[in-house]
Structure 1
Amino acid sequence: MADRRLQVFHAVARHGSFTRAAEHLFMTQPAVTFQIKQLEEHFNTRLLDRGHGKVALTAAGEIVFAYAERILGLSDELEARVAELTDELTGVISIGTSTTIAAYWLPQLLEGFKRRYPRVVPRVVVGNSQLTEDRVVARELDVALIEIVSDQPAIERRSAARDELLVICHPAHPLARAKALKAQDLAGHPFITRDPGNAIRVLADQFLHAGGVGLDEIPVCAELGSLATVKHLAAEGLGYAIASSAAIRRDLREGRLVGVPLDPPLYTPLEVILPRDKFRSRLITTFADFATDALARMATTPLRQH
Structure 2
Amino acid sequence: MADRRLQVFHAVAKHGSFTRAAEHLFMTQPAVTFQIKQLEEHFDTRLLDRGHGKVTLTPAGEIVFAYAERILGLSDELEARVSELTDELSGHLNIGTSTTIAAYWLPRLLEGFKRRYPRVLPRVVVGNSQLTEDRVAARDLDVGLVEIVSDQPGVERRSAARDELLVICHPAHPLARAGKLAARDLVGHAFITRDPGNAIHVLAEEFFRVGGVADDEITVCAELGSLATVKHLAAEGLGFAIASSAAIQRDIREGRLVAVPLDPPLYTPLEVILPRDKFRSRLITAFADYATEQLARMATAPMKNL
Unaligned 5+ segments in structure 1 are none
2:134 is aligned with 1:134 = yes
Structure 2 Cα separation of the partners of residues 59 and 179 of structure 1: 66
Structure 1 Cα separation of the partners of residues 30 and 291 of structure 2: 37
Q: What is the TM-score of this pair, normalised by structure 2?
A: 0.99
Q: CA deviation at 1:302?
A: 1.8
Residue type at the aligned position of 1:153: P
Hey, what does 2:117 align to over in structure 1? 117
Unaligned 5+ segments in structure 2 are none
Hey, what does 2:203 align to over in structure 1? 203
Residue type at the aligned position of 1:253: R
SS at match of 2:159: strand
Q: CA deviation at 1:285?
A: 0.2
Hey, what does 2:32 align to over in structure 1? 32
- CA spacing shift, 1:112–1:222, aligned 2, 3 Å: same
Structure 1 Cα separation of the partners of residues 113 and 133 of structure 2: 22
Q: Which runs of at least 4 in structure 1 moved beyond 4 Å after TM superposition?
A: none
The Cα offsets for residues 51-99 of structure 1, whole Å up to 9 and x where unpaired, read as 1211000111111111101100100000000000000111110000000
Structure 1 Cα separation of the partners of residues 216 and 269 of structure 2: 27
Residue type at the aligned position of 1:128: N
Q: CA deviation at 1:305?
A: 2.8
Hey, what does 2:97 align to over in structure 1? 97
Which residues in structure 2 correspond to 1:1-306 (within 5 Å)? 1-305=1-305
Residue type at the aligned position of 1:285: T
Percent of aligned positions with the same letter in both sequences? 85
The Cα offsets for residues 221-258 of structure 1, whole Å up to 9 and x where unpaired, read as 10000000000000000000000000000001111000
8 Å contact 2:235–2:256 — kept in the other structure? yes
Q: How many pairs were matched up?
A: 306
Q: CA deviation at 1:303?
A: 3.2
Q: What is the TM-score of this pair, normalised by structure 1?
A: 0.99
8 Å contact 2:249–2:304 — kept in the other structure? no
SS at match of 1:141: coil
The Cα offsets for residues 143-201 of structure 1, whole Å up to 9 and x where unpaired, read as 01000000011111000000000000000101100000000001111000000100000
Structure 1 Cα separation of the partners of residues 303 and 112 of structure 2: 13
Comparing 79-88 with 38-47, greater Cα deviation is found at: 38-47
Q: CA deviation at 1:304?
A: 4.8
Structure 1 Cα separation of the partners of residues 53 and 148 of structure 2: 33
SS at match of 1:248: helix
SS at match of 2:131: helix
Residue type at the aligned position of 1:19: T
Q: Give the RMSD, CA atoms, in angstroms.
A: 0.8
